Structure 1
Amino acid sequence: MKNTAYKIFKKPFFGRFARPWRWPETVDQSQWQRLSVESESGATIAALLGPAHTQQAKGAVLMSHPMGVVAKGFWMKYGHAELLREAGYHVMIFDLNGFGESTSTTMDYPLDVLAAGQTLQAQYPELPIAVMGASMGAAMSVCAMAQPKHPFKAAVLESAFPTLLHFWRRYPIPKLGIQLSKIFYPAGERSLRPTYAAEHLVGSPDMLLIYGEADEFTPIEDGKLLWQALKKRTQAEFWQVPDAKHTHAYAVQPNEYAERVIDFLDAKLIDNNRRELNQGN
């Protein structure tokens, strides 16, 4: 009954994305290992693990997708996953519940990110873990970092909205649903509000925020609201990308994107990990 109610509530938000998932055509499926993750949201999360292309890995990165039928395939289709693998990072991509191949349960998406991150950490317990998210996946990753026992040392977040209302304000039915949830289930709405999560971060994961100047869904001013909230609790960088549309900074500035993202991960994961090991000794 509970899941049925959530499916009805979720339909105006995500119903158009409920389609059978397909591998992107250019992907070599043999390079990916399938994993199944049990989330505290009640969902069974479908994930794929892609090892680094280098002999020795620097770390591992969980990739949390934006809304869309392609779901976890976003990271393969547009090249982000291969960028990280070539740079020496293991990557894990996964479907949030109700998307792709994952089962649909509640709207507790941060718990899906948390479960996937903990599974990735269990796969590589000796390596530092980061999370990379786009749009919805980025926002829910921020919320996951307010959860106890999250494994993330750093985060790369593109087009993350500061609150649900900021993203859905131009859509009357979802907007009404969010407004009602703030009245009848305020704890649930807070758990999905990145600016609230920013005030309750667990640990101090360093963050790189990326926003496109041509983004109609999460404009620069929305990104700066979240950035200001995060800066009060951790080190957060802000990159404003000319001509980039929603979640597509890599397509517009591939060289600078690669340099900024890889340099950030190398500095925050490798260098910080070395310092922690030295302090432990």
Structure 2
Amino acid sequence: MRRKWLVYSAFILALLSFIILGSSLYMLNYSLCPGNRGKDEPSSYKYMYENYTFMRPWVDSLNRAKAIKDTFIYNKSGIHLHAYYIAAPHPTKKTAVIVHGYTDNAIRMMHIGYLYNHDLQYNVLLPDLQYHGRSEGESIQMGWKDRLDVMDWIKVTHQLYGDSTQIVIHGISMGAATTMMLSGEQQPPYVKCFIEDCGYTSVWDEFSGEIKNQFGLPPFPLLNVASYLCELKYGWNFKEASAINQVKKCQLPMLFIHGKSDTYVPTSMVYSLFKAKPTPKELWIVPEAKHALSYKINPKKYTNRVREFVEKYL
């Protein structure tokens, strides 16, 4: 009888382990290898023109002047990466590197490109992160490995615009997490400040909320196993991919922006991030704004807040 019970228990344990492993693998692929709207450039332009009506005449004028240019690099892992760059209307040392969000691409950040290039008269560079746009990559990196790629793009920007270049890094959503993760690394002297808009505290925290909200499940054990599988397959885990740990090391100025009605990346996260960041720092909570929509609901005020911040440092 006892032998039968042991065999039955082992069978149940093996079945549960198989289910947990399979579910965790599904979650990893669902999160990091989704069908990616960011690979569809025509639909990205269509979305931008519908939601930001000023975009089409600006982009058309740039295209007529052949002012939107492509550039490519290989990162240290040999992955081929793409970015667009646009020179300022008049020579300037001021440059913005603009980082897009999850399943977005450089085109879907052109409204922030407009802010800097059209309104503030900056040079801009807009990279496609791994597995987005025209960049290669086998999966989304959630900002963690992307931070190293953006460091490479910063060097390219410096080469493009000269020794006197002064740079602000501006990211939204996953791009904001990338910006914060990057901020904890040692910066070249021409990087002057950062702007993060609705970034998460860590990949672990963001996925914990999503697994609860989307599937009604606790993080343990699926998230733990998925994080372990991520480390085996991609070389990083959900807990080490921490924006909050990186901003603790950041000594350069940072502007934190977050919509008060953001539920995708809960607004509560920005308060923890802001508290962790040493001075200088500023915080702007945007009333009524949902996730990544702070610029859309009030572009003039958003532009002015960005202008006021960057003018202190560039």
Does the TM-score normalized on the shorter chain lie above 0.5?
A: yes
TM score, norm. by length of structure 1: 0.81
Alignment partner, residue 124 of structure 2 = 91
2:31 to 1, 13, 37: 13
Share of identical aligned residues, percent?
20
1:132 partnered with 2:184? no
Q: How many residues align?
A: 255
Cα pair 1:114 1:144 within 8 Å, conserved: yes
Matched, 1:240 2:273: no
Structure 2: 5+ residue runs without aligned partners?
1-24, 47-55
Q: Where in structure 2 are the equivalents of 1:110-125 lying within 5 Å?
A: 110-124=147-161, 125=163
In the alignment, structure 1 segments of 5+ residues that lack a partner are: 1-6, 270-281
Distance 1:105 1:119 in 2: 23
Q: Is the 8 A contact 2:93 2:164 kept in 1?
A: no
2:109 to 75, 78, 99: 75
When Rg is computed on C-alpha atoms for both structures, the one with the higher figure is 2
Alpha carbons of 1:177 and 1:17: their partners in 2 closer, same or farther (altered >3 Å)?
Answer: farther
Counterpart check, 1:220 vs 2:253: no
SS in 2 for 1:74: helix
- Quote how far apart the aligned CAs of 1:83 are: 1.4
Give, in whole Å, the separation in 1 of the partners of 2:157 and 2:237.
Answer: 26
Separation in 2, partners of 1:13, 1:37: 26
Q: Which residue of 2 aligns with 1:254?
A: 299
Asked if 1 retains the 8 angstrom alpha-carbon contact of 2:177 and 2:243, the reply is yes
Relative to 1, partners in 2 of residues 1:105 and 1:145: Cα closer, same or farther, differing over 3 Å? farther
Whole-angstrom CA distance in 2 between matches of 1:245 and 1:135: 11
Q: CA deviation at 1:40?
A: 2.7
The Cα shift of 1:138 comes to 0.7
Q: Which amino acid aligns with 1:80?
A: I
TM-score, normalised by the number of residues in structure 2: 0.73
Q: Which residue number corresponds to residue 277 of structure 1?
A: none
**Secondary structure, in 3 states, of the residue corresponding to 1:63?**
strand
Q: Does 1:33 align with 2:77?
A: no
Could you tell me which amino acid in structure 2 is paired with residue 165 of structure 1?
Answer: W
Q: Mean Cα displacement is larger for which, 238-247 or 55-64?
A: 55-64
Distance in 1 of aligned mates of 2:38 and 2:81: 16
- Following superposition, the deviation at residue 213 of structure 1 comes to 1.0
8 Å Cα contact 1:227/1:238 also seen in 2: yes
Residue 197 (structure 2) pairs with residue 158 (structure 1): yes
User: For each residue in 1:55-83, what CA deviation from the matched residue of structure 2 results, as whole angstroms up to 9, or x when unmatched?
Assistant: 23241110000112x4111111xx22111
1:104 to partner: Cα distance: 0.7
Give the partner amino acid of 2:35.
R
Secondary structure in 1 aligned to 2:282? strand
Deviations 1:238-269 (A, max 9, x none): 00001111111111122211111012111111
Q: What residue in structure 2 maps to residue 200 of structure 1?
A: 249
Q: Deviations over 1:31-62 (max 9, x none)?
A: 21100022235421110001112x23241110
Moved more, 119-128 or 164-173: 164-173
